[in-house]
Amino acid sequence: MRTLMKILLIHGPNLTCSADASPRSTATQRSRRSTLRFRRAPRAAGAALLAFQSNHEGALIDFIQAEGWDADGIIINPGALTHYGLALRDALAALSASIVEVHLSNVYKREAFRHTSVIAPIAAGQIAGLGWQGYLLALEWLLAKDAAPT
Amino acid sequence: MRTLMKILLIHGPNLTCSADASPRSTATQRSRRSTLRFRRAPRAAGAALLAFQSNHEGALIDFIQAEGWDADGIIINPGALTHYGLALRDALAALSASIVEVHLSNVYKREAFRHTSVIAPIAAGQIAGLGWQGYLLALEWLLAKDAAPT
Amino acid sequence: MRTLMKILLIHGPNLTCSADASPRSTATQRSRRSTLRFRRAPRAAGAALLAFQSNHEGALIDFIQAEGWDADGIIINPGALTHYGLALRDALAALSASIVEVHLSNVYKREAFRHTSVIAPIAAGQIAGLGWQGYLLALEWLLAKDAAPT
Amino acid sequence: MRTLMKILLIHGPNLTCSADASPRSTATQRSRRSTLRFRRAPRAAGAALLAFQSNHEGALIDFIQAEGWDADGIIINPGALTHYGLALRDALAALSASIVEVHLSNVYKREAFRHTSVIAPIAAGQIAGLGWQGYLLALEWLLAKDAAPT
Amino acid sequence: MRTLMKILLIHGPNLTCSADASPRSTATQRSRRSTLRFRRAPRAAGAALLAFQSNHEGALIDFIQAEGWDADGIIINPGALTHYGLALRDALAALSASIVEVHLSNVYKREAFRHTSVIAPIAAGQIAGLGWQGYLLALEWLLAKDAAPT
Amino acid sequence: MRTLMKILLIHGPNLTCSADASPRSTATQRSRRSTLRFRRAPRAAGAALLAFQSNHEGALIDFIQAEGWDADGIIINPGALTHYGLALRDALAALSASIVEVHLSNVYKREAFRHTSVIAPIAAGQIAGLGWQGYLLALEWLLAKDAAPT
Amino acid sequence: MRTLMKILLIHGPNLTCSADASPRSTATQRSRRSTLRFRRAPRAAGAALLAFQSNHEGALIDFIQAEGWDADGIIINPGALTHYGLALRDALAALSASIVEVHLSNVYKREAFRHTSVIAPIAAGQIAGLGWQGYLLALEWLLAKDAAPT
Amino acid sequence: MRTLMKILLIHGPNLTCSADASPRSTATQRSRRSTLRFRRAPRAAGAALLAFQSNHEGALIDFIQAEGWDADGIIINPGALTHYGLALRDALAALSASIVEVHLSNVYKREAFRHTSVIAPIAAGQIAGLGWQGYLLALEWLLAKDAAPT
Amino acid sequence: MRTLMKILLIHGPNLTCSADASPRSTATQRSRRSTLRFRRAPRAAGAALLAFQSNHEGALIDFIQAEGWDADGIIINPGALTHYGLALRDALAALSASIVEVHLSNVYKREAFRHTSVIAPIAAGQIAGLGWQGYLLALEWLLAKDAAPT
Amino acid sequence: MRTLMKILLIHGPNLTCSADASPRSTATQRSRRSTLRFRRAPRAAGAALLAFQSNHEGALIDFIQAEGWDADGIIINPGALTHYGLALRDALAALSASIVEVHLSNVYKREAFRHTSVIAPIAAGQIAGLGWQGYLLALEWLLAKDAAPT
Amino acid sequence: MRTLMKILLIHGPNLTCSADASPRSTATQRSRRSTLRFRRAPRAAGAALLAFQSNHEGALIDFIQAEGWDADGIIINPGALTHYGLALRDALAALSASIVEVHLSNVYKREAFRHTSVIAPIAAGQIAGLGWQGYLLALEWLLAKDAAPT
Amino acid sequence: MRTLMKILLIHGPNLTCSADASPRSTATQRSRRSTLRFRRAPRAAGAALLAFQSNHEGALIDFIQAEGWDADGIIINPGALTHYGLALRDALAALSASIVEVHLSNVYKREAFRHTSVIAPIAAGQIAGLGWQGYLLALEWLLAKDAAPT
């Protein structure tokens, strides 16, 4: 492994962080704050963070194919693609990076269709329901992963 | 509510209205005629109509995030995304606009997979099988909605 | 087709319009107001409207067999029979009239058993969730239907 | 057993035999012709035939409770109640008469919901798809039943 | 609440109490004895009991709409309508009365289709398998209900 | 159609008619008696009857391919192949003969797997539960079929 | 039967009656009050009441094996074991005592997994949703049971 | 048909052929080699080959709408869209071209979700598990198709 | 591998090639023509072709056990056994030969039971819907297989 | 029971014991060794062993009908027919002999379709996963069965 | 392997062997007799037998963790835990001992929930329906296991 | 909230930390190491940690009822009870503490029954597949929770 870890932070549909988003979407707001804190964390730990968001499943796959092959870790909140994005799954499954699936809310408390993840079986693990801190915990785990057997 | 209602008309995959579409697709032709009549209607009623079509689920979400936050009503024919577009559903669910799901054909007469809509549970209502007039009826309902309790 | 269209307005169980109904049932109240407005509409359009309500599936079928064979259009809110009234379905399926199934509420937001309609596959179309205006829209469509290919 | 057998011929919803029925319903016509031939047959065999048709499940049960307790055989085409008429089933199950369920068409060639009969498990047997002759064959079997072990 | 409680006792299909019923139906007999004891009980407790039986789902709904809106309690054995009487359910759900669903036999020991009740989710509670005494226990509970928090 | 009708009588596995069968199998005995009466009937009616029994699905298909192409009617009790003999179904479906599926017992009263027939959807009709007379009734129907529209 | 009836009152997991339970659990409080009233009732009726509660399925079975073999009646609220306690079911099924399953709340209004009881098929009956009075009604039924045929 | 056949070769998500793809993806490599051989084949046969790959379902539909209306044949490996790309299916279903669905691996040996294809019911046929040669065989079939009835 | 490849061509029930087959079965005719062309092809390629057809699953297994152990490739159209021939599957699974499952028609366009193949998971691949040419393509693939990694 | 017990040893498809079987099939080898040991065992115990193997379900039924009616015990490994051989089941169910179903491997560790046995419900018991010794244990049990109540 | 084999005999809930068990439970009696014979058998074979019964799943796991790590074989009748004791399964799966699951009765003849075993997939094999001799056969197999390849 | 947080660490069946556990269970070893690190962490953060492990669901509930009512946070790895421990779920659901469900392995990569958690819907969130660090991350989240809105 290289001295500087390369970690991808991927957000799926409806998890936009841009400034012009509707002020009504609290999910958007929370995600934005989370990302701000998130981006500061890896710098101290000597890791390079590359963030990407798209509402297009195809664009997420394009990004994964372009940047994923030499990534050490991937933190992904696939949004609703969690439940049917099989093409996204195939793109992630082709990588050797450790993948952590993160959900802001506890999906197991919501609609039945949100209880199934097509991404989880090809990820290293899953963090759900712990809010924006879920991203920080996933990052922490990726950074600490070398020091411990899984 | 503002003096001029803002209404979005959204068409999903394969419901293209452009002039270069294949002449063999009768669905396309009917949709085009419908849109022409449809666009003339709201002007008389003092409403602004904004139409968008895309074969890309991501582009539909991009449009909804850009234009949906201050829309008063949405008329959407999600095409085949009706049955699996959970990301589209999440984008629509974040809005406060009244949403009417429209299908040209009676989907309950067709293949079993067309009997399930992931959009319907977050819409105000659904019109199916009434052809291009379904759009006009949906528009009429959105315009009349202030005058009556739902 | 005859000069004067014959349109049936059929309400199933628990959608009573009579004056002696319990004042607590808001569904009943809404249905009554809807019917009043509804009855005025077709007169202007030169159509004869024949309304019928019953809590008995058998009585609905008796009515359909007596009045349906020369009807041009049928607007039906089958109430809970929507979900299991297969005999009602067979009675309607034997007619040549265009049938529009109307539901006051968005049944797709309610209990799972309300998501399935045994009537929809034999209807021309369905309007759900648009309140009492759903009846007016259905009527409008039936009246306009000659002028446009379905 | 009495000298004169008492046999009930019961038709469920939409299997009306009355003269004023819609001429478009071929099922009705076929049923009517069948009944005419049917009624002549038992007289020669010294059996009393009592026929009843209703679109009301409740009326069918009323008839069965009034006339079924001393009937020797029952020929029933429950129409669409075949698939959900559990109350009709309970009424029939309380009798000691031999019951033959008859369907004009081969229900196993039609919609999936017609493949299940809630009546069949409490009947002696079922005849399906043999048209109006199914009634004659059922009658023949009921008349011949004493002479042979089932 | 008024001084004199109004309690409805409703029996569904095949639970007839009339004297001319078939002597073979033991369920009928048991129901009749139960009703006799049952009718004597509320008089002592200062409650008015109104009993109704019908084999017609529609008639049950007619009765509920006529008498249910000012009832304080309802004891109902829906018979086989327990399993598919969604219109009956809707009629009951519109009331404010406390509803107790009673079954003479333990339906959970019988055919699989009897294990599901469409009435139970809108009732206060259910008593099954305790024979005709189930009615008395339901009545006792309705009479005592004011004195204790549920 | 030729002057002399050709009718095939086909029995599937475990419905052997031979004299050396186990005396314990009452199904076998009943089937044997049935066949004896059955064989006498068509001669009077001027029809040629060709009977075949095999425990081998392949042998049943061989027979159908050899004798079925010019048969006018087929009476078949497929035994347990009723429930999984898809190859037998394909063999029968290739014929133009009218096919009547017969079961000695009421299969709808027995194990759940016996409630499904893969043969019924390609047959003209089905007779179940009427014992050995079911064969005679099927024969009668095939012979009378010319005289009446199905 | 002996002069003094032996009745077991069994509570499953999370239905503790002890004084040190968390004051936040209202289910616990209600159960405690219910038990107090409950224990006073049988003494007047000349029956011996033996109460037991455990969070351990195994301990419930131990108790049933030790005290159940000569019990005349069992009132059991199995708590969540209702839905998966097959070993508890087997222990109860081995007894000759009349068993009444009691639930404080109407389980049919709650999560789907609470709609299925593995205990109900081996009980005499079930009382659900009638609060702590459900225990009293069950007791009353057990005491009165000798005087009436089930 | 025109002298020069127009054949589209369409690859769905994760089946990229570009030179900058990750060297770890063997599926990518195999697909690339396959395409090279594939492109040489039709030139000899006098057919024009138009190839397109995208990770975006929408882009695949855009391409099909632009180039598909006058295509004679389509060879498509939809990747993971095979299992949920209903919009892609609708786009293909609108064409008159013969469509062959090709999978490099035997999808029936892999995860259960890969056993279902929403594309297959609207294709002429399917080739699976024959590696990159599957494309050549599909091409061969399209070229030879005129010479033989399907 | 030996100089001369040994390839088995196996047809299941109802895919008879014999001259005495019914002229009405077009499937039979097509299969026959296909086999004729098919048999000429391998000779040029230096492969020995051994063809077998049977309506008996057992006979197909007997043949596979006798001839399959040293076969290099197997082309099999199992007919309806595709969907339930688990014994045939076990026989094929014991071989080391490459197996290609071929269907004349696109089974995914036909009855639901034809969408499942118990053979496909143990085959190398599947060709469906390409008519008699499917056999030639399968043969071509088996002959070319040495030259390329799967 | 006779002095000399008659025990049938029946092997279904792909469990051939003949010398010419493929040397690659280890299941075959194991089965052969097992049979050799098996055949020696009953002789010492004074029982007559009759063994039969066939790849044809029909031949297995023929054998059972010829030899099963006076057999005292049956040891059967139905191979893949375990999962769909309903005709085989019917043949066995007609016997009075005690039947033990034996599987060499633990079918519950293998493909899901192997977890269901249509034979088990009509057998006395089942031994699975204990290799060739399963046959010996089944034999031992049959021989010892007289001495102990089941 | 050590000279003296260590074999655990584990009984789950309701399979108590103690002297004070209810005399009504015949299952208990049979289990007791079985255990007595069972305990005598291994002594002759030079194996140490350690028996344990508990109605507590937790106690069974405690025992397995304390005694299972150096056991050579385990014979377990999990009682009703067979169907839901996933924690018991996990405890057993952590061992290297050969495990035989034994059921006194043929569970495949009883209620549907008894047809599924969560233990079977992690056991070596299963013996069901052979009564108390099932234990002896399991013991015999464990003792003989060294002498033969599985 | 009190100055010193009270956090419970609960391990379900087969997650024993005691020194005498089998050395073969690597899950046990990993869990032990995890617990050691885990216990040191909260001391620095000024939180009191109370750990408990049991193989008994009942004992886990006893512990939760005794210590949970004033706990601020709960970290629980329910082991196999995750999938069926509804009583454990009810015990946890009665608390006001924040609950984090932790799994050492990615349960979504394992057997299908491990994909469903009855605990997750009543927890704040879930961490799976991140090994022993999952506990530390859960602890970190509980400690940081006050500082951020969920």
Six-digit token string for I3: 């100089």
Is residue G84 predicted with pLDDT exceeding 60?
Answer: yes
The distance of G31 to chain E (nearest Cα, Å) reads: 12
Q: Quickly list DSSP for J39-85.
A: HHHHHHTTEEEEEEE-S-HHHHHHHHHHHSTT-SEEEEE-GGGGGT-
I150/H100 Cβ within 8 A: no
User: Which of F57, F86, F94 has the CB atom closest to I25's CB atom?
Assistant: F94
Amino acid letter, G92:
L
Cβ-defined contact of G125 to E124 (cutoff 8 Å): no
Q: What is the pLDDT of residue B136?
A: 94
Q: Which of K10, K5, K15 is nearest to K91 (CA)?
A: K10
Give the amino acid at I121: P
Of J69, J90, J118, the CB nearest to F14: J90
Q: What is the predicted pLDDT for the residue at L73?
A: 96
Residue G1 above 50 pLDDT? no
Task: Assess F112–J contact: CB distance below 8 Å, yes or no.
Answer: no
Taking CA atoms, what residue in A is nearest to L110? A121
Q: How far is H37 from chain A (nearest CA, A)?
A: 24
Quote the Cα angle for L53-L56-L58, to 5°: 110
- Considering only CB atoms, H87 lies closest to which of B55, B58, B59, namely B55
Provide mean pLDDT across the span J12-35: 59
F105 φ, ψ (degrees, to nearest 5): -100, 165
Is G19 an 8 Å CB contact of chain L?
no
Contact I92, I121 (CB under 8 A): no
Question: Measured between CB atoms, does C128 come within 8 Å of chain B?
Answer: yes
Interchain CB contact of E127 with G (< 8 Å): yes
In one-letter notation, the amino acid at residue I89 is: R
pLDDT at G26 over 90: no
In this prediction, the answer to ipTM > 0.90 reads no
Sequence letter at residue A25: S
For residue B89, the model assigns a pLDDT of: 98
Could you tell me if D27 lies within 8 Å of chain F, comparing CB atoms? no
Per-residue pLDDT at I119 = 97
pLDDT at E16: 79
Summarised one tens digit per residue, pLDDT across range C35-89 is: 556 666 666 667 899 999 999 999 999 999 999 999 999 999 999 999 999 999 9
- Asked if A96 has any chain L CB less than 8 Å from its own CB, the reply is no
Which tens digit of pLDDT belongs to each residue from K103-122?
A: 999 999 999 999 999 999 99
CA angle (L93 as vertex; L88, L95 as ends), nearest 5: 110
* Rounded percentage of chain G residues whose pLDDT exceeds 70: 75
Nearest beta carbon to residue D126 from set F100, F128, F133: F128
Q: Measured between CB atoms, which of C109, C125, C131 is closest to B129?
A: C125
pLDDT tens-digit map of E54-96: 999 999 999 999 999 999 999 999 999 999 999 999 999 999 9
User: Which of the two residues, C30 and F16, has the higher pLDDT score?
Assistant: F16
Candidates I16, I22, I80; nearest CB to F86: I80
Q: E2 or A91, which is more confident?
A: A91
3-state SS assignment for residue F100? strand
Q: Please check the confidence at residue D145 and state whether its pLDDT lies above 90.
A: no
Q: Hey, is K38 helix, strand or coil?
A: helix
Residue F126, chain J, CB below 8 Å: the answer is no
Confidence (pLDDT) at I22 = 43
User: What pLDDT does L41 receive?
Assistant: 65
Handedness of CA I137, I140, I145, I149 (dihedral sign): negative
pLDDT at E4: 83
B87 touches chain A (CB under 8 A): yes
Residue F72 is classified by DSSP as: S
Tell me the DSSP string of E29-93: HHHHHHHHHHHHHHHHTTEEEEEEE-S-HHHHHHHHHHHSTT-SEEEEE-GGGGGT-HHHHHHHH
pLDDT at B77: 98
pLDDT above 90 covers a percentage of chain L that reads 71
Nearest CA in chain C to D13: C87
Q: What are phi and psi of I43, to 5 degrees?
A: -60, -45
H113 CB within 8 Å of a chain A CB: yes
- In contact, F17 and F31? CB cutoff 8 Å: yes
CA distance E15 to E51: 12
A91 lies within 8 A of chain H by CB: yes
Please tell me the distance in Å from D92's CA to the nearest CA on chain E.
Answer: 10
Instruction: State the average pLDDT for chain G.
Output: 85
Contact B129, B103 (CB under 8 A): yes
Residue A88: closest CA among A52, A115, A125, A63: A63
For residue F133, the chain D residues in CB contact (below 8 A) are: 141, 144, 148
Count Cβ–Cβ pairs < 8 Å, chain D vs chain F: 82
Distance between CA atoms of K25 and K14, rounded to whole angstroms? Answer: 9
The pLDDT tens digits of the residues spanning L47-65 come to 899 999 999 999 999 999 9
Whether residue J29 lies within 8 A of chain I, CB to CB, comes out as no
Condensed to tens digits (0 to 9), the pLDDT of residues C88-140 reads 999 999 999 999 999 999 999 999 999 999 999 999 999 999 999 999 999 99
The alpha-carbon gap from L90 to the nearest alpha carbon of chain G, in Å, equals 7
Task: Render pLDDT for B12-59 as a digit per residue (tens, 0 to 9).
Answer: 999 975 434 444 445 555 555 555 566 666 666 678 999 999 999 999
Which subunits sit against C, judged by 3+ Cβ pairs under 8 A? B, D, E
Task: Using an 8 Å CB-CB cutoff, list chain F residues near D124.
Answer: 106, 129-130
Q: Specify the pLDDT at position B1.
A: 44
Chains D, E: CB contacts under 8 A, how many? 60
- Answer whether L106 sits within 8 Å of A128, measured CB to CB: no
A–B: how many Cβ contacts below 8 A? 60
**pLDDT exceeds 80 at position A1:** no
- Other C-beta atoms within 10 Å of F122: how many? 20
CB contact under 8 A, F141 and D130: yes
Arithmetic mean of pLDDT, I102-120 = 96
- Counting residues of chain D whose pLDDT is more than 70, the rounded percentage is 75
Residue B110 in this model has a pLDDT that exceeds 80: yes
User: Chain C within 8 Å of D133 (Cβ-Cβ)?
Assistant: no
- D46 Cβ under 8 Å from any chain C Cβ: no
- Out of J65, J69, J86, closest to residue F113 by CB: J86
I to F contact (≥3 Cβ pairs closer than 8 Å): yes
For chain J, the C-alpha Rg in angstroms (whole number) is: 14
d(CA B132, CA B136): 7
Nearest to L95 by CA among L127, L59, L128, L119: L119
For the cut 90, the answer to whether the pLDDT of residue J146 exceeds it is no
Of B122-126, G104-108, I144-148, J9-13, least confident by mean pLDDT is I144-148
Q: Which of F28-42, H9-23, J36-50 has the lowest mean pLDDT?
A: F28-42
Q: Is the pLDDT of residue L149 over 60?
A: no
C133·B125 Cβ contact <8 A: no
Apex A147 CA angle, A143 and A150, nearest 5: 90
Q: DSSP readout, C71-118?
A: -SEEEEE-GGGGGT-HHHHHHHHT--SEEEEEESS-GGGS-GGGG--S
Angle at E12 between CA E8 and CA E14, to 5 degrees: 135
What pTM value is reported for the model?
A: 0.90
The answer to whether L105 contacts chain K (CB < 8 Å) is no
J41 has pLDDT over 70:
no
Sort out which chain B residues have CB atoms less than 8 A from H59's CB and list them: 55-56
pLDDT score at D29: 55
Residue-wise pLDDT tens digits, H96-139: 999 999 999 999 999 999 999 999 999 999 999 999 999 999 99
Asked if E65 lies within 8 A of C27 by C-beta distance, the reply is no
For chain H, give the percent of residues with pLDDT over 70.
75
Residue F67 token pair: 């004798």
What is residue E42's predicted lDDT score, i.e. its pLDDT? 66
Q: Tens digits of per-residue pLDDT, G53-67?
A: 999 999 999 999 999
Of A23, A58, A79, the CB nearest to B90: A79
State both tokens at C35.
Answer: 């019917």
Confidence of residue D47 (pLDDT cuts 50, 70, 90): confident
pLDDT band at K19 (very low <50, low <70, confident <90, very high): very low
B146 burial (CB, 10 Å; 0-12 / 13-18 / 19+) is exposed
Q: How far is H112 from chain B (nearest CA, A)?
A: 18
* pLDDT surpasses 80 at H46: no
pLDDT at residue G20 tops 90: no
* Cα angle L125-L128-L131, degrees, rounded to a multiple of 5: 130
- With beta carbons less than 8 A apart as the criterion, state whether C79 and E87 touch: yes
At residue J23, the pLDDT reads 43
Q: Do chains G and L touch (3 or more CB pairs under 8 A)?
A: yes
**Interface residue G75 vs chain E (CB under 8 A):** no
pLDDT of residue K47: 85
* Straight-line distance from the first to the last Cα atom of chain H, in angstroms, rounded to the nearest whole number: 16
What mean pLDDT comes out for the span I22-35?
A: 52
Q: What is the DSSP string of L22-49?
A: -TT-HHHHHHHHHHHHHHHHHHHTTEEE
J110 touches chain K (CB under 8 A): no
